[in-house]
Chain A
Amino acid sequence: MYAVFKRELFSLLNSLMAYITIGVFLLAAGLLLWFFPDTSILDYGYADLNGFFSLVPFLFLFLIPAITMRAFAEERREGTYILLASRPLTDWQIILGKYFACLLIVAFALLPTLIYVYSVYQLGLPQGNLDSGATIGAYIGLMFLGAAFTAIGIFLSSVTKNQVVAFAIAVFICFIAYSGFDAVAKIEGLSFLESSLSFLSINAHYTSVSRGVLDTRDLVYFISMIALFLGLTRYALGGRKW
């Protein structure tokens, strides 16, 4: 698995695409957090990062499918998947190798935003007036959310040869999983389903983790979400005809 992980990571880092998507992500996050008056911390008046943490999932919605879209789609198009398949690797080693490489890139994208935490920490009055428990919780929540989105993206990449199709559908499914269920729950007439529908949405669990309390229900939810989509990937690769 390590061999696949390493090759995937290097090929992501060797391509300009990873830097551009991470760059765009950081630029958008920076602009929204510090510059645009509607969302800027400086205009908001409170030195906390709640705005940032509710914003990042929407940026992840685009960032993560952009990183994962090539994982299997490119190999299918170029016919190189047969190279991997004729090595003594199990399907799971291939899938997990690629999955963790993409997840590490997501972590790389998130790493520079720690500067924002430091800045906001300095801006507080009195200095350092920041709920550190909630901040750590929110970062853990973001990583879980990123891990779930990555699994969705990897799965969509395994069902098509076309990277753009993989990207577009992955964005859509991530969006539905993130807040679509919440939205459906609000439809009148479905209100009896409201609690079970919102239990299905990533948003509810992400918000719960972001409060700084790690609940086993959230943990189980994220892990089953990841397992479901990676399992579907395994299924898609097993039935190959290409």
Chain B
Amino acid sequence: MSIKVQGLSKTYAKQTAVNNISFTANSGRIVGFLGPNGAGKSTTMKMLTGYLQPSAGSVELCGLDVQAQPVAIKKLMGYLPEHTPLYTDMYVQEFLSFVASTYGLQNADEKVKQTIQKVGLQAEQHKKIAMLSKGYKQRVGLAQAIIHDPQVLILDEPTSGLDPNQLTDIRTLIKTLGKDKTVILSTHIMQEVEALCDDVIILHQGKIVANQSLDSLKNEQGDFSLEQIFRKLTASTTN
């Protein structure tokens, strides 16, 4: 079990962003993290990485508690935050070398080169990050998450704002990565879930409303498309 979440909650002053959720994820599977805007997807992901402190509950990655061993966890984990924040004043190669050096990687230059090839940034590698288009920035963001070959990959909307060609490239890449890693990705695109994910977790108002494999979810809900299932599960507003 490479990700184990138990009773995880996050409360802000008046608002409960994440309400007592538990789930597990296994190596070699890609988990799609779905939910309407404001359902608590990004907050949950931030807690998985240890960036935010949970109000209650615990997260274990590869058997290590995220809050207790933050540095060890971060070596095992790659994270692409929402909106892909990057140091735009740096060059692509320079930025990835910086990232590699924070992990203390051996033969860092080689790793940077390989990663650039993996995400398809060869043509842009000498440019400043600020000059890149959205899709290429997204690739840089993905590159910084996978450069140290992590066992767990947490991707917050990895494909937002990409053109159809780039979409296919990035999806293929994620699919390949998912073969021997645990990947959790959030998205709003249902075709993407069908194309990529093995398991689906649907969040609604901070609670899990579905957590099963994609196939069993579809079987259970009968003839509906994934989009219809999603709308059905997240339609009720209890607030």
By a beta-carbon cutoff of 8 Å, the part of chain A in contact with chain B is: 2-4, 6-7, 10-11, 14-15, 78-80, 82-83, 85-90, 241
Choose the segment among B20-28, B96-104, B159-167, B229-237 that binds chain A (4+ C-beta atoms closer than 8 Å): B96-104
Interface string of B98-118 (1 = CB under 8 A from A): 110111000000000000000
Q: A3-B98, A6-B98 are in contact. Are A86 and B74 (CB under 8 A)?
A: yes
Which among B12, B51, B70 is the interface contact of A82 at CB below 8 angstroms?
Answer: B51
Distance in angstroms from A242 CB to nearest chain B CB is 10
Which of B94, B98, B103 is close to A88, meaning CB atoms less than 8 Å apart? B103
Q: Which residue of B lies closest to A83 (CB)?
A: B85
Q: Which of A2, A11, A89, A90 contacts B87 (CB 8 A)?
A: A11
B102 with A89: CB separation less than 8 A: yes
Other-chain residue from B87, B89, B94, B103 in contact with A87 (beta carbon distance below 8 A): B103
Q: Is the beta-carbon distance between A79 and B83 smaller than 8 angstroms?
A: yes
Q: In the bound complex, what is the Cα–Cα distance between A80 and B144 (angstroms)?
A: 13
Q: Does B49 contact A (CB under 8 A)?
A: yes
Which residues in chain B, 44-90, are within 8 Å of chain A measured between CB atoms? 46, 49-51, 70-72, 74-75, 77, 79, 81, 83, 85-90
Contact B87 A80 (CB under 8 A): yes
Number of interface residues of B (CB under 8 A): 27
Q: What 3 pairs between A and B have smallest CB-CB spacing?
A: A88-B74, A3-B101, A87-B102
| Distance of A79 Cα from B85 Cα, bound (Å) | 6
Cβ of A98 to closest chain B Cβ, rounded Å: 13
Q: Is the CB of A80 within 8 A of B85?
A: yes
Kindly state the separation between the CA atoms of A4 and B98 in the bound complex, as whole angstroms: 8
9 A–B contacts, CB within 8 A, in A order: A11-B89, A14-B89, A83-B144, A86-B51, A86-B74, A88-B74, A88-B75, A89-B74, A241-B12
Establish whether residues A86 and B79, one from each chain, have CB atoms under 8 Å apart when the complex forms: yes
Give the residue among A78, A79, A87, A90 with the most B Cβ atoms within 10 A: A87
Cross-chain contact A83 with B86 (CB below 8 angstroms): yes
With A3-B102, A86-B74, A86-B79: A78-B51 Cβ-Cβ less than 8 Å: no
Residues from chain A with a CB closer than 8 A to the CB of B85 are: 78-80, 82-83
A4, A14, A88: residue with the most chain B Cβ atoms closer than 10 Å: A88
Pair B103/A7 contact, Cβ less than 8 Å: no
**Please, which residues of chain A bring their CB within 8 A of the CB of B51?**
82, 85-86
CA–CA, A88 and B74, complex, Å: 5
Chain A, residue nearest B98 (CB): A7
**Chain A: which residue is nearest B13 at the CB level?**
A241
B98 touches A90 (CB 8 A): no
Q: Is the CB of A89 within 8 A of B86?
A: no
Q: Is the CB of B99 within 8 A of A87?
A: yes
* Residues from chain A with Cβ under 8 Å of B70 in the complex: 90
Which residues of the other chain, B, contact A86 by a CB distance below 8 angstroms? 49-51, 74, 77, 79, 81
A15's closest neighbor in chain B, by CB? B89
Chain B nearest CB, measured from A234 CB (Å): 14
Which chain B residue shows the least CB distance to A97?
B102
Closest residue on chain A to residue B79 by CB atoms: A86
Q: For B81, what are the chain A residues with a Cβ–Cβ distance below 8 Å?
A: 79, 82-83, 86
Nearest Cβ on chain A to B34's Cβ, whole angstroms:
22
Q: How far is the CA of A3 from the CA of B51 in the complex (A)?
A: 20
Least Cβ–Cβ distance between A199 and chain B, in angstroms: 39
Chain B hits for A89, CB < 8 A: 71, 74, 102
Contacts of B46 in A (CB 8 A): 82
Residues of B within 8 A of A78 (CB): 85, 88
Complex-state Cα separation, A88 to B101, whole angstroms: 10
Known interface pairs A87-B74, A88-B102; 12 further A-B residue pairs with C-beta atoms within 8 A, sorted by A's residue number: A4-B102, A7-B90, A11-B90, A15-B89, A79-B83, A86-B74, A86-B79, A87-B99, A87-B103, A88-B71, A88-B72, A88-B75
Report yes or no: A80 in contact with B86, Cβ–Cβ below 8 A. Answer: yes
Distance between Cα atoms of A7 and B77 in the complex (Å): 22
Q: Which residues of A contact B75 (CB under 8 A)?
A: 88
